[in-house]
Structures are given as C-alpha cells and as structure tokens.
Amino acid sequence: MSDHVDDVLAQWARQRPDLDTTPMAVLGRLSRLTRLVEARQQATFARHGLDAPSFDVLATLRRAEPPHELTAGQLAASSMVTSGAVSQRLDRLEVRGLVRRRRGDVDTRTVHVSLTTAGRAAVDAALPDHLGAGADLLDPLAGDDAEHLARLLRTLLVRHEER
C-alpha cells in the first residue's frame, strides 16, 4: 500500500539521500488528512444546515453543564479564536434562534450565551453524523490503532501547545 507522500519521499531519497525525511512523512500525511477531514466535516455539517464554526459553538455550549451557558469569553477561549470571531458566530446563530445572549446582572460587560431548544436539537442531530463520519475516516485502522494514534497525537499537541 502506497500513497502520494511515499512518492514524494522516494523522490527526495533519490535527490537528497543524506536527509531524514521522517518529518515530511508524518506532517505531509497529517496535512493531507486534515484537508480530507475538513471536507468531510463540512459536508456533514452542511446536511444539518451548519458549518464547522457554528457546530463548534453549539457543541461547546452543549458540553457545558445545564443550563448549557457560557460567557462569550469562555467560548472564545474554548474555540481559540478572537472575541470578534466569536461575536460574528454568535450573531449568525442568534438570528437563526440557536443561541440566546444576555448581559450579566452584576457586570453588564459580560455576555452570557446559552443554547436554545432549537440549538440543542441542531447539535444533537448533527453530533451522531459527525461522529459517524469520524469513525468512517478511522475505519482503515485495526484494533487499538486509533487509540494509539490518539495518544501519540496528544503527546505532540501537549508538547507544542505548552510553547
């Protein structure tokens, strides 16, 4: 079994046999897989009238303890995007009736965001399809390989997110 990255590595081995191309073997495949995963997620979310950023907000709120409410700042931190980007996402979701925003009682600068009944229904309907698409993408892995891969990727992320 061979892939495009194998072809690239073979070309480099012929041209520059003195170089260790292991980083290219791993990162090239991660990059190609990322594009495949994002395309699959986009199609899955679109079937539910969502996009990845909208699903991210709805899923983050759904994971929160009832009443499924977080501040806009907590959403920004969870999404690793700017508060402006979260605000734009919330604008779109609020217009669709999927989230509700309210000002804080004590500090009116704080914006609290909660899932509406429609928002909860939307994320609950999309989540099984999202997980199914992920399982389908991981299907070629045998036995505990997916769990092993998850552990290896966690090691990389923890190390590099600390920097």
Amino acid 78: pLDDT: 87
DSSP state letters, 75-141: HHHHHTS-HHHHHHHHHHHHHTTSEEEEE-SS-TT-EEEEE-HHHHHHHHHHHHHHHHHHHHHHTTS
What distance in Å separates the CA atoms of residue 157 and residue 151, rounded to the nearest whole number?
10
What distance in Å separates the CA atoms of residue 69 and residue 88, rounded to the nearest whole number?
18
Predicted confidence band at 97 (pLDDT cuts at 50, 70, 90)? very high
Q: Is the pLDDT of residue 80 over 90?
A: no
Contact 48, 58 (CB under 8 A): no
Q: Is the pLDDT of residue 150 over 90?
A: yes
Amino acid 75: pLDDT: 92
Q: Is the pLDDT of residue 160 over 80?
A: yes
Amino acid 69: pLDDT: 94
φ, ψ of residue 101 to 5 degrees: the values are -115, 145
